[in-house]
Structures are given as C-alpha cells and as structure tokens.
Structure 1
Amino acid sequence: MTIADDLLGLAELPRLPISPREIERARALAARRPHPADLTDAVITLVERVAADDGDRPAVADDTRRLTYAELAAEARRLATLLEREGAGPGTVVAVGGERGASVIAAFLAIELVGAVYVPADGTWPAARVTEVLTRAGAVLLLDTGRDGVTPALAEGARGAGVRLVRAAEAAGLPGRPGPARLDGPDQPRYMLFTSGSTGRPKGAVVEHQGMLNHLHAKVVDLDMTARDAVAQTAPLGFDISIWQMLCPLVVGGRVRVVGDATAYDSVAFARLVGAEAITIVELVPTMVRLLLDDLAPAPATGLLGGLRWMLATGEELPTEVARRWLREMPHAGLVNAYGPTECSDDVTHHTVTPADLELLRLPIGTPIINTDLYVLRRGNDANNGDSGDSGDSGDGDGDNGGEGDGWHACDPGETGELFVGGVCVGRGYAGDHDRTREAFFQDPFAGTPTGRLYRTGDAVRALPGGALQYLGRVDRQVKIAGVRMELGEIEAVLQRHPSVGAVAVVVQDFGPTRRP
C-alpha cells in the first residue's frame, strides 16, 4: 500500500458554500504573491549540483561530525540503497527517528532518492506515541539514526506497530544507489507530520513536494539567503519548521548547524555557538526569543550575536514587548514574524517587524509568501464590525452547502474573518482520516491553483491598512503552548479514557515564561 491509498482525491473534497458573487469579491480582495519558481527538482539534486562544483564546501554539522556536500550526497545514496533493500519505494512511508543530527538530513535526502514519504518519529517520544505514529502513517520501516545503538523508545514503538527497525549505521560500506531521485511529479507526497486533533488522535498532515520546495524558495527570497548563510537547526523532528531548517540552506549552497537539545535550551550556550560558528539565521518560538534576551542582558547582545542577520519568530503569537526589545537590543538583525499551518507546508506569511508596528496591540503576521493565496472570509450570518477578535464562527468546518445567507462571504479590509489558504502550498489532507480532511480541506473555488485545494485554518484575522494580516486568535479550542499546537478536546479525550474520570474540562492558565529542562 502507498500513501496515495490513504488520501482523498480532489473530487472527493467538499465544495465551499459560497455564491458566485462572493467568489468574485474574494478574488478581488485576496492577498496573492505569484513568483516564478522551479518546483520540479529534488533537494538531493540541488545538493549534488553544489557537490559537483565544490564538493568540499561545508554542508551540515552537528555536535559530533561535519559533512561536506560531497560527503552528504554520498551518505544519502548509501542510505537509499539500504532503504530500497528493506522495501522502501515510491509512495511508501519511511519513518526516521533517533537524535537530531546530520544523519537525519542524509536520511531525508535518501527518502527523496527512492521516492518515499518521510515521517519523523522522535526518539524522545514515549514508545506508545511512536507506535501510534508508525501505525497511522502506514510506515514500512523505521530508520534509527541514533549513534549509540538502538534507541529504546523507537525499538519498543516499532515492535508495537509491527514495523521493521533498521539502523542507519547498517548503510556503512554499501554502494550508493545510482540514478536520479524518483520524483513522479511536483504533487508527489513528500512528508507527513502529525498535528493535534480533537478526538484524542493526532492527524497526519501530508505535504506535497511542490509545497515543500516552494516554502524553501520563499525563505531564500524573503531572507535574501546565499551560500554565505548558515541556519541553526533547533526544532524537534516533529515540528514543521524542522523541515526548512534542515533543507533550506542546502538549496543555495549554505550550511546547516544542527544544535543539540542541551545547547538549544541554554540561551547563553546557544548564543555562544551562534557566534562561534558564524550562524546567520535562527528561528525560535517567541518564548525562547524572550528567554534569549533575558539571559543575554545586561551585556550587549551584539557581543555574541553580532553576525546574526535574521531572527524568525513562529509557532505562537509574538508579543509586541518582545519585538520592541529585539529591535532595541539587536538593531543589526531583522525580526520576522512568521505564521503558517503544518497543513500548508509550514509558513504562509512573513512580516519584517518595524518600529511602526510597535504601536499596535497585536503585531501583523504579514503578507503571503510566494505562490500563496490568502482569503479572509466570514459566515453570512456572522455579526462582524471588524473590532472583535472573535470571528463569530464555531469553527466546526462542516463544509455544508447552506444557502447564500449562511454561506461564506469575503471580508473587506478591517473586517474580522477566518483565514483560508490556497496556492501551491496547500497539502493533501490527513492520511487515513477522511472525515477530518473534509472538515478542513475544500475544492478551491477561487483560482486554478496547482493543487486545486483550499485550506480552512480556523484562525481569525483581519487585513490592516497596507494589506498585512493581523492574527486575532482561534475560532475553536486549539491553543499553542511554547509553539506546540494542542487541542484542548484532545487532552480531554485522553483523560476521559481513565475509568476513574467521570467528566473533565481542560483550560489554559498562563503562569508567565517558563524554561525547558
């Protein structure tokens, strides 16, 4: 079975209940950013082009080893031979777990070579979580990239799912797989990430190759990335931002520095590493940006971070006060407020924060990245004057076909509505979960986009003067805690399984910034 057997086709998605008149209004009001981009190459192909010109150029480093472009490409091809020997092929799902490091990046490139689909299975997860992810993803094998033997949680999780566990170390000495990457088309599923759900079962969001590559190009364009740049790879494997952090520098001949957890969660140690290894681009959740500023005060931050060009904040709302401190204390490094759902290949907006933004109570999340269409819509029966942070919609995503009065309407600038995303970035839906796919994904009525799909985010936004969007909160019970997407209903559903629990309600209470161990 391949991943395609677990996904809904475009014709099986519901149509958005919206009148022809409102379709035309939405088209006219949409935020769009067309941009030429070649979305047909595999990342491994781009890596090997750099390797052919300058094989000794540094590509990836972690806490224990460094790989040149030639060494990275060779390791990817050896791993591809191992994967094919173990049954991986076009459309199959290969899970990758273990420690974050250079081997994970080589494994991703190997999965591209054999035409399979990548799904992370973090070695720090409980074994039960690993079992669930492997089972629901339909993985044919689990590749353990750990350096010191088999990772216990991965081994137990693989046994629970009945999936073969293969160690990346077994590729040593194998010949490299010959030939080009098996890319059947830009719409080929490339990776799957599991997000929070409201039924106690996380959702496996599937992203296409073209969506992933478009996001990589968007980062290159908006951050003006070149071969001189180095990106800190800090995100756990289960986070969508880990994808671009691992791959984006390789598209332009730059460097990836995988930062181990011990350093990533120690602000001073992290800042020292950024300075010592000439890292130019960092992305953190706002909570960690705040801690970084706190821990570097009162000493000038430029002492350790003088070479930093960009800080991206994502995963949770960026407080205005944190942005104010960054602009004051780090004037040489731009601050980007980024926003996007996993289902749409990661970020769909970027906004470079300016001093003028600090007058707002909530910072803009910006304008669309390249080849992305954004629509702000509201239900026809919503009472909406543009001043509320609540869209007035229940967020149930039922996809009904009610009359025009109950259908969706385009919001004028300043009006609050729900954000819908179209364009090349929109993913394929949730693997094996057709009901929840139909709740969030629709046939795109607005444009003949490459995917033909429209994604309902569940986020309330409004367009500010000048066109930038402002995030105003959720229209459902989903929350973000330290960048982790959580459905309160999911937590309630899990607690409800305990035989001693009769009823349960989960709420979020803010006790201020906390530190990870």
Structure 2
Amino acid sequence: MNAGGQVAERLLGPAGLPVLAVSPAEAARARELAARHGMTREHPVDLADPVITRVERFAAAGDRPAVTDATRSLSYAGLAAEARRLATLLERAGVEPGTVVGVGGARCATVISAFLAIELIGALYVPADETWPAARVRDVLAQAGAGVLLTVDAGEPAPALRAGAAEAGCEIIRAGAADACEPWPGEPRLHALDQPRYVLFTSGSTGRPKGAVVEHQGMINHLHAKIVDLELTPADVLAQTAPLGFDISVWQMLCPLLVGGRVDVIGDDVGHDPMAFARAVDEQGITIVELVPTMVRHLLDDLRPGSLGGLRWMIATGEELPAELSRRWLETMPHARLLNAYGPTECSDDVTHHTVTAKDLELLRLPIGTPIVNAQLYVLRHEDDGTWSACDLGETGELFVGGVCVGRGYLGDDERTREAFYADPFERTPSGRLYRTGDAVKLLSPSASGAGAPTLQYLGRVDRQVKIAGVRMELGEIEAVLQRHPGVGAAAVVVHEYPVNPAAAVDR
C-alpha cells in the first residue's frame, strides 16, 4: 500500500513559519484594537471530545434518527455500529494513525459513517468528489498520500474515481465489504488536540491544488461555533447539500450529531432543482439550510406560497451575499433568519457570522460579521516599508485570522505554507499560527453598520483569486491548465461579471 508517509512528517511546524513584520508597539496596538472592537471572542469548548464519542453517547441514551438520505435512515446506534465496522475494514487494509484515507462516491449517509471510522482509528479524511475528472482525483489522492480510496457507492465506483485512484497508486476498497466485519473495539485515537483531522484541496496558482490540513481542535471548535450561534437543539434537522470537496460539507455532516439532531443528505438530483429542494425541506422537516447566494436566488424565484414554513435559518456562504437578494429573503421569509457566513478552508471553515437585518440593506455591501467563538481577527495595512500596521474603524486593510481555528498549512508544500501562514505575533494561541486571508475588509463602526457593535465588511480579494458559483479559483490555475494543451502557447484569464437581471444590461 502506498501510504505516502505520516501527515505530520509533511507539515511545517510553527517554528518554521515566517514572522510577520510588525513592531512590538504595533502588535500591542493590534491586540488592543481587536479587543476593543470585539474581534476576539472567548468561549469554553470541550475540544477533547471526538464526534464519534458524542454519537455513541446518544446511541446509548435511546434510539433516535441520526442520518437520513434518499435510500435509508440510520439511528445513532446504527451510525456508530457502521462506523466501527468500517474502522475494522480500514485497519485490515493497512490504514494506520496519521495516514490519509480517501473517500469517494455520491454524497450519502455512508460518507458520514466513513468520516467517523477514520476519526476512530486516528487517520485523516480526504474527499474525492465523484464529479471530478480523473486527473483531479489523481492529483488530490497523490498529493495527500492516500493509500486507499474507500468508495461509498453500492455499485461500481465512477470511472473517474477508478482511473484517478489507479494513476495515484491508490487501492480501492468498497464500504459494502464492512458488512461482514466485526465492530472495531478500541477507543477513539485522539493523541493531541492539534492532531490533523482532514485535508481539503483548494485551488492553486501553479495549476496543482493545495491541500489545506485542518486540526481536530479547529474542526471541533467550528462545530461548536455553529451550535452556539445557530442555537442548535436535538429538534434541528440540517440539510447536507455541499459537494464533498467543499469545506462546508464537514460541518453539515457532523454538527447536528453533537446535539442529538439529524442530518438529512440531499442528493444533487434534488439539490439542483429549487422546487424539488423546497419540497424536500418541507417533507423532511429540515430547519437549517446552507446554500450559495446563487442557489438562494433560484430558490426564491421558484418558491411556492407556504413553502419552507419550518425553516429556522438560511445560511449564505461561498459567494458575496448581495443586499438586493437579502432584501428579498427578509421580505419573503421573515420567520427564517438569514446568516451571512465567511471563512477560508485553511481556518477550519467559517471564522465570522452575521445575522442580516433590514438596517444592513442600507449598505452597498453587507457585513460579514464578527468572529466565531475562539477566533481572533486582525485588520492590518501593508505599509510602504514592508511592515504591517493595525487598522482602526473605517480603515481598509487585509484580514488576518488567529486562534484555535487556524489550520496546519498545506500538506507537503512548505513554500506555499510560508506564503500564507505566520507565527502569531499577537497572542499565544493553541495553534501558534496566524493566517493571511488575502481578503480586503473594513471594520465598520456601530453607527455605520447599524449593529450594536463594530462589524467587518468584505471588500474583495487583494490577489487574483476569485469565486465562481461558490467555488474558489485561482485565475493562475486556469491559465496553467489551459497552457497544458499543445495548441495553446499562452493564456490569460479575466473575470467578466454580467448583471443579475439581463434586462439591466447595457450595450458595451
């Protein structure tokens, strides 16, 4: 088996990170401004409690549904048992603590069981989306060093998954084979809070994806941040709609399981059809939905009177949320709050939340909010002499993230890790790292935002990275791929934005 080595051996430690060029006086000022303007938020979270431990507690307390998809329903007891059988299957295939396991196939309940199985044996999860081309599957599995690809489909794996795994030298095992296995008997292998938990690949400017490594403590903290801010209860049902390659898929799969709620996996055939999706939300009793703003718009366009009556939260993420769309939501769905969420994969997903209000609609661009629990946010300006200084209210700067949420960097890529991650000069945090987002932001005063406290406003990228239909892309990656073709000598990519309403277009 090509295990690719332990992940820890291919990660840069905090001591190897660059030091941000900020003077001691300016670092003290940045700390003071962050504290004064509410850009730090402490909250007690039990980071040492794995998800599978919570699942098994609920399983012991009574039989209740945990995960449903189009074909079956798993109780908490059934989910825990399936995860332990899959853990046995993976261990027989040679998976060890600290190694990477690929999981591929259609989104379904088995993916969640697989994630918990990987958590049990102390390995790392890396998704291989069934819609990816074989070359992308190959690059992700090879760069991650995955020794096995666990396929969750009942039938044959998708041709691209088979081809990509073969090219990466990755053994394919089928989740269905776990039916004949005995449950894995051990305790969850959590050796340290900074233990890597999963790898997700984002776009890379060289034409090759970057594998962002998220730690156990960052993942657990983000799950609890959602529980706190959404006020999750056992009565909540969360729609799992995100493709496996998206960072938001992780919290969608796991968060309700920490409170005894239910995850409802919505397949693409329903998720891409606004009317069918609305029916599923009503029929399944779904209370929380997360979509990119483009899909929120389509949902409102096709919404029937009385639909989505049981919805508590709509979370918008992945793209900038337009004020015009927010106005439509607030007017059409006053009973369901609208949350604007922002965050990079490198920081365990979202780092800010903002509940949209009518007052926000007076702004040209909506706020992205304030920090999630145990995150520390700094708005810094790059000076002409190469140093960084702290921005006060109303000043534009670049957003930096500190705290337990900051991940470990890019797997096996020290150069690109050093370009985005720094030793934290502001606080002694559990991660010891500071992440440079590349996003320009402004800290709005309470009078400017209409909120009771300062809040962040997103102003755009400071580099050439963009989001198209919720997918974060480097323009350089597209150029690099185009230039692989023998008929292309050079390529340049630009983004052209068309009006949302074609009738508003003007001749150019």
TM-score by shorter chain over 0.5: yes
| 1:424 lines up with 2:404 in the alignment | yes
Q: Which residue of 2 is the match for residue 400 of structure 1?
A: none
| 1:107 lines up with 2:110 in the alignment | no
One-letter amino acid of the structure 1 residue matched with residue 469 of structure 2: A
1:325-353 alpha-carbon deviations (Å, 9 max, x no partner): 00000000000000000000000000000
Does the 8 Å CA contact 2:238/2:286 hold for their aligned counterparts? yes
One-letter amino acid of the structure 2 residue matched with residue 12 of structure 1: G
The counterpart of 1:41, out of the listed 49, 52, 55, is 49
Counterpart CA distance in 2 for 1:370 and 1:457 is: 18
One-letter amino acid of the structure 2 residue matched with residue 202 of structure 1: P
One-letter amino acid of the structure 2 residue matched with residue 50 of structure 1: F
After superposition, residues 207-356 of structure 1 pair within 5 angstroms as 207-296=214-303, 299-300=304-305, 303-356=306-359
Counterpart CA distance in 1 for 2:256 and 2:233 is: 8
Counterpart CA distance in 2 for 1:8 and 1:108 is: 25
Counterpart CA distance in 2 for 1:64 and 1:509 is: 41
Q: Which residue of 1 is the match for residue 494 of structure 2?
A: 507
Q: Which residue of 2 is the match for residue 53 of structure 1?
A: 61
Shift of 1:508: 1.2
1:410-429 alpha-carbon deviations (Å, 9 max, x no partner): 00111000000000000000
Shift of 1:512: 4.8
One-letter amino acid of the structure 2 residue matched with residue 288 of structure 1: M
1:378-432 alpha-carbon deviations (Å, 9 max, x no partner): 1122xxxxxxxxxxxxxxxxxxxxxxx3200000111000000000000000001
Q: Which residue of 2 is the match for residue 409 of structure 1?
A: 389
Counterpart CA distance in 2 for 1:247 and 1:222 is: 16
Counterpart CA distance in 2 for 1:357 and 1:150 is: 47
Give the secondary-structure state (helix, strand or coil) at the position aligned to 2:173.
strand
Give the secondary-structure state (helix, strand or coil) at the position aligned to 1:25.
helix
Does the 8 Å CA contact 1:417/1:461 hold for their aligned counterparts? yes
| 1:491 lines up with 2:478 in the alignment | yes
The counterpart of 2:424, out of the listed 440, 444, 455, is 444
Give the secondary-structure state (helix, strand or coil) at the position aligned to 1:231.
strand
Give the secondary-structure state (helix, strand or coil) at the position aligned to 2:111.
helix
Q: Which residue of 2 is the match for residue 388 of structure 1?
A: none
Give the secondary-structure state (helix, strand or coil) at the position aligned to 1:501.
coil
Counterpart CA distance in 2 for 1:250 and 1:512 is: 40
The counterpart of 2:154, out of the listed 128, 132, 147, is 147
Does the 8 Å CA contact 1:144/1:151 hold for their aligned counterparts? no
Report the TM-score, using the length of structure 2 for normalisation. 0.95
Shift of 1:513: 5.4
1:186-220 alpha-carbon deviations (Å, 9 max, x no partner): 10000000001111011000000000000000000
Does the 8 Å CA contact 2:101/2:123 hold for their aligned counterparts? yes
Counterpart CA distance in 2 for 1:78 and 1:497 is: 43
1:77-107 alpha-carbon deviations (Å, 9 max, x no partner): 0000000000112100000001100000000
Tell me which moved more, 140-149 or 211-220. 140-149
Query: 1:125–1:512: structure 2 CA closer, same or farther, 3 Å change rule?
Result: farther
Does the 8 Å CA contact 2:147/2:169 hold for their aligned counterparts? no
Q: Mark the runs of 5 or more structure 2 residues left unpaired by the alignment.
A: 446-452, 502-508
After superposition, residues 33-182 of structure 1 pair within 5 angstroms as 33-54=41-62, 56-182=63-189
Q: How much identity, in percent, do the aligned residues show?
A: 70
Does the 8 Å CA contact 1:426/1:455 hold for their aligned counterparts? yes
Aligned residue pairs, count: 486
| 1:359 lines up with 2:324 in the alignment | no
Shift of 1:502: 2.0
Q: Mark the runs of 5 or more structure 1 residues left unpaired by the alignment.
A: 382-404
Does the 8 Å CA contact 1:287/1:513 hold for their aligned counterparts? no
Give the secondary-structure state (helix, strand or coil) at the position aligned to 2:307.
helix
Give the secondary-structure state (helix, strand or coil) at the position aligned to 1:103.
helix
The counterpart of 1:32, out of the listed 33, 40, 43, is 40
Does the 8 Å CA contact 2:139/2:209 hold for their aligned counterparts? no
Does the 8 Å CA contact 2:69/2:109 hold for their aligned counterparts? yes
Does the 8 Å CA contact 2:41/2:372 hold for their aligned counterparts? yes
Shift of 1:156: 1.1
Does the 8 Å CA contact 1:18/1:407 hold for their aligned counterparts? yes
| 1:19 lines up with 2:19 in the alignment | no
Counterpart CA distance in 1 for 2:490 and 2:185 is: 58
Does the 8 Å CA contact 1:120/1:237 hold for their aligned counterparts? yes
Query: 1:26–1:280: structure 2 CA closer, same or farther, 3 Å change rule?
Result: same
Tell me which moved more, 474-483 or 490-499. 490-499
Does the 8 Å CA contact 1:413/1:462 hold for their aligned counterparts? yes
Report the TM-score, using the length of structure 1 for normalisation. 0.93
Shift of 1:477: 0.6
Tell me which moved more, 461-470 or 232-241. 461-470
Does the 8 Å CA contact 2:137/2:161 hold for their aligned counterparts? yes
Q: Which residue of 2 is the match for residue 370 of structure 1?
A: 373
The counterpart of 1:481, out of the listed 468, 480, 492, is 468
Q: Please, what is the CA RMSD of the aligned residues? A: 0.9
1:101-126 alpha-carbon deviations (Å, 9 max, x no partner): 00000000000001000000011111
Shift of 1:439: 0.1
